[in-house]
């Protein structure tokens, strides 16, 4: 059974896709490193993905959602937001925006901070809906650091250090849905 639970205790925001560790994979002495939802006792999401379609009242996902995903009470370590703007004129000039944001890490204190860094593969925030969906972006992808998601646990044997979100594949899938 999949239980939807909020970003942080008392927050009603729920990501479209989220991932967190299962408690059974965390040694008891490291459990305090992971925030839990007091209602269900589940580990709060470390990786979240948000997709918005034609929500024009919101300037950008980064401006509105990042403060919630990376609040002091949230456990998010990596967030990906994608926003699709539907062209209702019939000209099919659909646009989109994609960003990846990671929670900053302080190696001196060995802790996650309540500040963030935007991935360089994120779209520039010059305009509110700034990339035509018809323009290919081959090779553009977001890189997710698995160690960041599971810290302080070690990477399991044979686990790749990174996984990737292929933005071109996502763009192509969105175009299939829209045409």
Domain ranges in the chain?
17-178
Rounded-to-integer distance, Cα 121 and Cα 118, Å: 8
Look at residue 63 in the predicted model and tell me its pLDDT. 74
Rounded-to-integer distance, Cα 107 and Cα 42, Å: 27
Look at residue 154 in the predicted model and tell me its pLDDT. 93
* SS3 track for the chain: CCCCCCCCCCCCCCCCEEECCCHHHCCHHHHHHCCECCCCCCECCCEEEEEEECCCCCCCHHHHHHHHHCCCCCCCCEEEEEEEECCCCCCCCCEEEEEEEEEEEECCCCEEEEEEEECCCCCCCCCCCCEECCCCCCCCEEEEEHHHHHCCCCCCCCCCCEEEEEHHHHHHHHHHHHC
Tokens of 61: 């996902």
pLDDT digits (tens, 9 = 90+) for 82-124: 888 888 888 888 888 899 999 999 999 989 998 999 999 998 8
Range picked from 14-18, 129-133, 175-179 for highest mean pLDDT: 175-179
pLDDT digits (tens, 9 = 90+) for 44-74: 889 998 888 875 655 566 777 788 888 888 8
């Amino acid at each position: 059974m999949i239980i939807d639970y909020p970003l942080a205790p008392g927050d009603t925001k729920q990501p479209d896709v989220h991932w967190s560790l299962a408690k059974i994979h965390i040694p008891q002495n490291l459990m305090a490193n992971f925030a839990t939802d007091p209602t269900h006792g589940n580990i709060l999401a470390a990786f979240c993905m948000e997709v918005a379609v034609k929500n024009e009242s919101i300037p950008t996902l980064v401006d509105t959602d990042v403060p919630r995903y990376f609040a002091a009470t949230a456990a998010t370590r990596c967030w990906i937001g994608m926003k699709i703007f539907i062209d209702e004129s019939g000209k099919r000039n659909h646009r989109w925006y994609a960003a990846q944001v990671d929670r900053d890490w302080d190696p001196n204190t060995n802790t996650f901070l309540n500040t963030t860094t935007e991935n360089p593969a994120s779209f520039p925030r010059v305009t509110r809906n700034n990339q035509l969906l018809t323009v290919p972006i081959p090779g553009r992808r977001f890189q997710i650091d698995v160690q960041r998601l599971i810290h302080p646990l070690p990477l399991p044997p044979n686990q790749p250090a990174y996984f990737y979100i292929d933005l071109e594949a996502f763009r192509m899938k969105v175009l299939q849905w829209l045409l």
